[in-house]
């Protein structure tokens, strides 16, 4: 990211004296559709981020914000919801802080980023975390990173209308170079797991498709999981989420739940275990096992949870044929990216074959992003 562009624009609009902040996007190595089942996820902050240059402007409540990537300016008061969609993120972060007792005054800001939009790397969480961290530091508000993640999540819920979990904001706030974060989605306890894949690279390939099914299918999957958990709970009262259940418990209710609910629940219980196995393998530096678990996740997401699509399955097959260590759909499914753990020496050949064969088959050029695990939100 060319930070000089941000500085130059800030100076031309607002003069000297701004401070520079950043917060990253994220990947999730393994652990899909586990969050709303009380399970674990394994995200990491990446080297693609949002950046802002900001300073107080001496007003009580006027915000002047310039979105450099869009070349758009918006000016709004903190008691009036802005019209522009991107400005709602900034407004939401301010309002959530004010709700928590913070005193925020007017400020000027220029922001930009290199988190690809619509690729499942959480550009919106990066934006929320960037502003949350900047305002917290600039006005000395005293929020910890944990509260900043919750402020970002509440912004999505209350001002953008997206009922997201907390993983994206958590990863953006708590990211640490050379580590992934094993986050317990129920208790929000977390542990850093070493991720230093010497000789391997992480690559995302964006299918550049988004199938319509996503939101309605998501709700259906969620209902299936809740149904299965409620049947298990009749015999095992301690089971609050599928995270508390075992495959044996699920088998006990096989005749009571629908075949569809059964197979969805089976995927989730297996996926939670796969994530724990992958964490153990990472601690031992065993990236071959991690890769194997990633492939297992893809098969589960494709055949049991049925949230893949022909484009994602095609890229996963190409990865397997090229000898890629691990590959799977990343995110909710029905489009978006595959995440691939690739040996250095196979990287260029894999990318060439994947992009060429994909374009030939689907008449769409996929986008390729090499990512590195980096630190979370910070002042530069």
- Residue in 8, 49, 9, 10 with CA at minimum distance from that of residue 26: 49
Strand, coil or helix: what is 180? strand
| Tokens standing for residue 114 | 């290199």
Question: CB under 8 Å to 74, separation ≥6 — which residues?
Answer: 64, 65, 67, 82, 83, 84, 86, 87
Question: CB under 8 Å to 226, separation ≥6 — which residues?
Answer: none
- Residue in 68, 93, 66 with CA at minimum distance from that of residue 78: 93
Is 375 in the active site? no
Radius of gyration of the chain (CA): 22
Taking CA atoms, 340 is separated from 179, 292, 320, 364, 371, in Å, by 17, 11, 10, 20, 10
One DSSP character per residue, 90-103 reads HHHHHHHHHHTT--
What is the sign of the dihedral through the CA atoms of 178, 129, 162 and 96? positive
Catalytic hit among 168, 317, 370, 375: 168
| Tokens standing for residue 257 | 């739940």
Q: What are phi and psi of 117, to 5 degrees?
A: -75, 140
Q: What are phi and psi of 207, to 5 degrees?
A: -65, -20
Catalytic residues: 168
């Amino acid at each position: 990211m060319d930070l000089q562009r941000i500085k130059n624009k800030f100076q031309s609009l607002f003069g000297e004296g701004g401070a520079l902040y950043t917060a990253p996007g994220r990947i999730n190595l393994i652990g899909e559709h586990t969050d709303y089942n009380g399970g674990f996820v394994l995200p990491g902050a990446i080297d693609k981020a949002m950046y802002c240059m900001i300073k107080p402007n001496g007003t009580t409540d006027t915000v002047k914000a310039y979105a450099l990537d869009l070349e758009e300016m918006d000016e709004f008061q903190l008691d009036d919801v802005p019209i522009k969609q991107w400005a709602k993120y900034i407004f939401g972060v301010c309002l959530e802080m004010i709700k928590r007792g913070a005193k925020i005054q007017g400020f000027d800001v220029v922001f930009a980023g290199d988190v690809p939009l619509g690729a499942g790397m959480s550009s919106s969480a990066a934006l929320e975390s960037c502003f949350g961290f900047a305002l917290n530091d600039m006005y000395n508000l005293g929020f910890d990173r944990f509260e900043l993640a919750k402020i970002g999540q509440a912004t999505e819920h209350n001002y953008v209308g997206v009922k997201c979990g907390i993983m994206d904001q958590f990863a953006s706030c708590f990211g640490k170079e050379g580590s992934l974060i094993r986050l317990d989605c129920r208790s929000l306890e977390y542990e850093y797991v070493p991720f230093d894949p010497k000789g391997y690279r992480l690559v995302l390939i964006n299918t550049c498709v988004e199938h319509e099914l996503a939101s309605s299918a998501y709700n259906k999957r969620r209902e299936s999981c809740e149904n299965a958990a409620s049947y298990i709970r009749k015999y095992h009262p301690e089971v609050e989420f599928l995270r508390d259940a075992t495959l044996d418990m699920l088998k006990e209710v096989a005749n009571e739940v629908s075949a569809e609910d059964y197979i969805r629940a089976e995927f989730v219980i297996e996926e939670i275990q796969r994530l724990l196995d992958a964490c153990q393998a990472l601690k031992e530096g065993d990236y071959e096992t991690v890769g194997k678990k990633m492939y297992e996740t893809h098969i589960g997401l494709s055949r049991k949870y049925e949230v893949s699509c022909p484009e994602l399955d095609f890229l996963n097959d190409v990865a397997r044929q090229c000898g890629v260590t691990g590959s799977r759909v990343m995110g909710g499914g029905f489009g978006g990216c595959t995440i691939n753990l690739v040996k250095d020496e196979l990287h260029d050949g894999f990318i060439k074959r994947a992009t060429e064969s994909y374009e030939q088959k689907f008449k769409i050029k996929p986008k390729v992003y090499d990512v590195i695990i980096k630190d979370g939100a910070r002042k530069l």
